[in-house]
Chain A
């Protein structure tokens, strides 16, 4: 953790040479985002690695406080905002289309933000400015990156509103955010995010505040637009239903680290981490009538200041005593490949994992 000395605008480092650039469109390597507070160092993200290709969707799943939102803010270069952001310590690499963002100057990141990468937030009412019309806000987002006059930009805004399914876009463009319903506001925010045809779209819980019927509409819209624009999408959610619906790849986060990563089929059919089992077991399902009790994960999510030693999940893990000795309490498990493109960070032996999954967990789901 010596490289954690960097704060704020980072100086260039050797790793950012182009020869080191990965093939994937978005690649995150060993990302760490730590916030010093009076109570101690909050390790929101503590060594995260993943990548997303264009046209693919990665879903990041986890409970509140697992670091999923901080990850997305770090990619967007927005982690420095807010009271705690001033002293943020960040290390690792974020590669977007061959450019390294952790070491890039804030100005450079700002130029990319909105054009190359855009973000949709959970609560569109607080993410939009209440004082400006929807149209003005989209026009602004467009004109920051395109040298066009207001009239052209307004035309573009109307076109985008129409594209995301707002009825009568030429009239609604002059409405204020409060005049829109929740679903329409989320659509308008998607229009705003996509106005510059970004190649990376990050959606942080885009449907959590919405009703299921509207959620279905919005997920459909994101999927259609992705097909049309070929963007890479990183979707952050806690709803495994949404993940199964839209993801190509899944990353499960716990205590600021990735505990399992793989294709959506791998993670749902052959999950390899007890925490993933816990998430699957604690979800009531609409598609079957279970009279069985839910199988909750016992205990509380960990504090990010005092992350438990060894495997961060061990205090809540029902299988923490299965591996011999106190390895789960003392040694932090590293991500290991458990199948093609499927990784898991767990001390359980592959045999134990397979046995527990097929005999104990899967039949109860």
Chain B
């Protein structure tokens, strides 16, 4: 998103906080039951999304990042009601859509569209491009001005394809072109909200940039609101206004782009960002800033008690194990769920004894990271001492 655009918007809206909320999600849960035995009794559940709150404002881009298995894709499918939530509520333009049935959702499908990750799997190989992109009109019974064919050709042009591609089949196109077709289909009915699940991760870098720029332009032109789900933090930084970081079905940090990347407050955010390789060999010496996380993400079937990150966190203390930290707005526009946030006053200063796991984790964290900044003094001192 270009800076110029943002200043334009800043003029129209006094502050981004006053922008109209398009989508509001509260306490959203999605559990997948695990059934066993002849009676198929439920023996547990994969808690893919386990209580998340956020809102998406009109015209903005919300980025959602996290490792695989953190529930970000499930979240995307639940907010578009492709899957039914287990708990919580979803409001779209002030209307509760949590429990709407298929018929009730149908008129809303116009407003909420999705772009999928796999440009090979999301286009029916036996339909022509024209058939694929005109399907939304057919299903919604919309007769666009000048006829469906003309409108589809306009859309193809809009996403940088040629109108002559109307009668071709998906296999004749490359990955990047197919992703453009998916975008054209998503935009056919002039949606208000577009949820894009890993829209560029299957594409080559040079093509990736083309699609990112295209999504940018379309947002500007059509005033779209995006929720972009991605695992690539560089892409998310480039496209998002605000970013939610997910870990094991929870949002651990939600902040605007510059706060999040310049002063991340959740240790997980910090570790995640430090792990991204930077295309600059001169920075190789700066590797001391890297935080290596131990092991893998725990299973979402039985997530750790308290703070879910405590098993891998180098700052974890007793309270992290017992009490789940709430997602609090510690700084304006920056919400964090952590007892011992980075770059901010400790939320549980009385609790100073590190867990054994945290001491082990701290071995993988360089001194430079542990070295205190004035705000983090209390917690990092402990880490240093215990080390």
Contact (Cβ within 8 A) B3 A286? no
* Cβ distance B350 to chain A, nearest Cβ, rounded Å: 30
Interface residues on A, range: 35 or more
Within 8 A of B (CB), among A84-112: none
- A301 on the B face (CB < 8 A): yes
- B304 an interface residue at 8 Å Cβ cutoff? no
Given A181-B296, A216-B290, A281-B209, A211 and B234 contact (CB-CB distance below 8 Å):
no
Q: What is the bound-complex CA distance between A244 and B282, given in angstroms?
A: 8
Find out whether the CB atom of B296 lies under 8 angstroms from the CB atom of A244. no
Interface check A5, CB cutoff 8 A? no
The one of B3, B271, B279 in contact with A241, judged by C-beta atoms closer than 8 angstroms, is B279
Q: Could you tell me which residues of chain B, from 300 to 349, have a CB within 8 Å of some CB in chain A? A: none
CB of B128 within 8 Å of the partner chain = no
The verdict on B359 contacting chain A, using a C-beta distance below 8 Å, is: no
Contacts of B273 in A (CB 8 A): 286
A-contact bits for B196-215, CB 8 A (1 contact / 0 none)? 00000000111111101100
Interface residues as binary, A213-257 with B (CB distance below 8 Å gives 1, 0 otherwise): 111110110000000000000000011111111010000000000
Q: Please, how many angstroms separate the alpha-carbon atoms of A213 and B297 in the complex?
A: 10
Return chain B residues, CB-CB under 8 Å to A298.
210
A183 interface residue, CB < 8 Å from B? yes
Please state if B280 and A291 are interface contacts (CB–CB under 8 Å). Answer: no
Q: Which of B260-296 contact A (CB under 8 A)?
A: 261-262, 271-273, 275-281, 283-284, 290, 292-293, 295-296
Determine whether the beta carbon of A286 is less than 8 Å from that of B237.
Answer: yes
Task: A12 to B297: give the CA distance in the assembly, Å.
Answer: 52
Shortest C-beta distance, B86 to chain A (Å), equals 25
B231 partner, pick from A211, A241, A278, A284, beta carbons under 8 A? A211
Total A-B contacts with CB atoms under 8 angstroms apart: 139
Q: What are the residues of chain B within 8 A of A286 when measuring CB–CB? A: 233-234, 237, 261, 273, 276, 278
Q: Collect the chain A residues with CB atoms within 8 Å of residue B158's CB.
A: none
- How far apart are A221's CB and chain B's nearest CB, in angstroms? 10
A167 near B295 (CB under 8 angstroms)? yes
Which chain A residues border B216 with CB–CB below 8 Å?
Answer: 293
A64 touches B205 (CB 8 A): no
Q: Tell me whether B356 is interfacial, beta carbon within 8 Å.
A: no
When chains A and B are docked, how far (Å) is the Cα of A281 from the Cα of B238?
Answer: 13
Residues of chain B contacted by A242 (CB below 8 angstroms) = 277
| Complex-state Cα separation, A193 to B239, whole angstroms | 39
Q: Is A282 interfacial (CB-CB < 8 Å)?
A: yes
B205–A289 CB distance below 8 A:
no
| B292 and A283 contacting across the interface, CB-CB below 8 Å | no
Chain A residue contacts of B290, Cβ below 8 A: 216
Given A167-B295, A286-B278, also A294-B212 (CB < 8 A): yes
Asked if B167 is an interface residue, CB under 8 A from chain A, the answer is no
A296 x B278 contact (CB < 8 A) = no
Interface SS of B by simple majority? helix
Contact partner of B280 (CB less than 8 A), chosen from A213, A219, A244, is A244
- Let me know if B204 and A301 touch, CB within 8 A: yes
Are A282 and B283 closer than 8 Å at their CB atoms?
no
Given contact pairs A183-B296, A213-B293, A290 touches B278 in the complex (Cβ within 8 A): no
Q: How many angstroms from the CA of A184 to the CA of B258 in the assembled complex?
A: 34
Q: Please, which residue of chain A has its CB at the minimum distance from the CB of B6?
A: A291
Residues of A within 8 A of B210 (CB): 282, 296, 298
Check B176–A300 contact: CB distance below 8 A. yes
B276 adjacent to A241 (CB under 8 Å): yes
The winner among A182, A264, A284 for most chain B CB atoms within 10 A is A284
Does B234 lie within 8 Å of A285, measured CB to CB?
yes
A284 touches B2 (CB 8 A): no
With both beta carbons as reference points, the residue of chain A lying nearest to B233 in the complex is identified as: A286
**B-contact 0/1 string along A252-278, CB 8 Å cutoff:** 000000000000110011000000001
B213: contacting residue among A63, A212, A293, A301, CB under 8 A: A293
Distance to closest chain A CB from B119 (angstroms): 13
Contact present for B292 and A217 (CB under 8 Å): yes
Closest B residue to A219 using CB positions:
B277
A264 to B292, CA, bound (A): 24
Which of B174, B209, B231, B275 lies in contact with A283, CB distance below 8 A? B209
Residues in B neighbouring A182, C-beta threshold 8 A: 68
Q: Are B296 and A283 in contact (CB under 8 A)?
A: no
Contact in complex: B204, A238 (CB < 8 Å): yes
Chain B residues closer than 8 Å to A292, beta-carbon distance: 2
Is A280 positioned at the interface, with any CB of B under 8 Å from its CB?
yes
Contact with A along B1-26 (1 / 0, CB 8 A): 11110100000000000000000000
CB–CB A243/B176 < 8 A = no
Give B240 Cβ to nearest chain A Cβ, in Å: 11
* B118 part of interface (Cβ distance < 8 Å): no
Q: Which residues of B contact A317 (CB under 8 A)?
A: none
* Complex CA distance for A216 and B290, rounded to whole angstroms: 9
Give A301 to B203 CA distance when docked, in angstroms.
12
| In the complex, A125 has a CB within 8 A of chain B | no
Shortest B296–chain A CB gap in Å is: 5
- Does B135 sit at the interface, judged by CB under 8 A? no
- Check A293 against B281 for contact (C-beta < 8 Å): no
**Residue in contact with B174 in the complex, picked from A181, A216, A269, A300, CB distance below 8 Å:** A300
Which residues 205-263 of B sit at the A interface, judged by CB distance below 8 A?
Answer: 205-210, 212-213, 216, 231-235, 237-239, 257-258, 261-262
Q: Does A74 contact B (CB under 8 A)?
A: no
Interface residues of A in 171-217 (CB under 8 A from B): 181-184, 211-217
Distance A214 CA – B67 CA, assembled complex (angstroms): 9
List, sorted by A's number, 23 A–B pairs whose CB atoms are closer than 8 Å. A181-B296, A212-B275, A213-B275, A241-B277, A243-B279, A244-B278, A245-B284, A268-B281, A278-B206, A284-B235, A286-B233, A286-B237, A286-B261, A287-B278, A287-B280, A287-B283, A289-B237, A292-B2, A293-B213, A293-B216, A296-B206, A297-B206, A301-B204
Sample of 19 more A-B contacts, CB < 8 Å, known A286-B233, A289-B257, A296-B213: A63-B205, A167-B295, A216-B275, A219-B277, A220-B292, A241-B277, A242-B277, A244-B278, A268-B281, A279-B205, A279-B206, A282-B210, A284-B234, A284-B237, A286-B276, A287-B280, A291-B2, A296-B207, A296-B208
Interface residues of A, Cβ cutoff 8 Å to B: 63-64, 167, 181-184, 211-217, 219-220, 238-245, 247, 264-265, 268-269, 278-287, 289-298, 300-301
The 7 closest A-B pairs by CB, nearest first: A241-B277, A282-B209, A291-B3, A296-B209, A284-B238, A297-B206, A294-B209
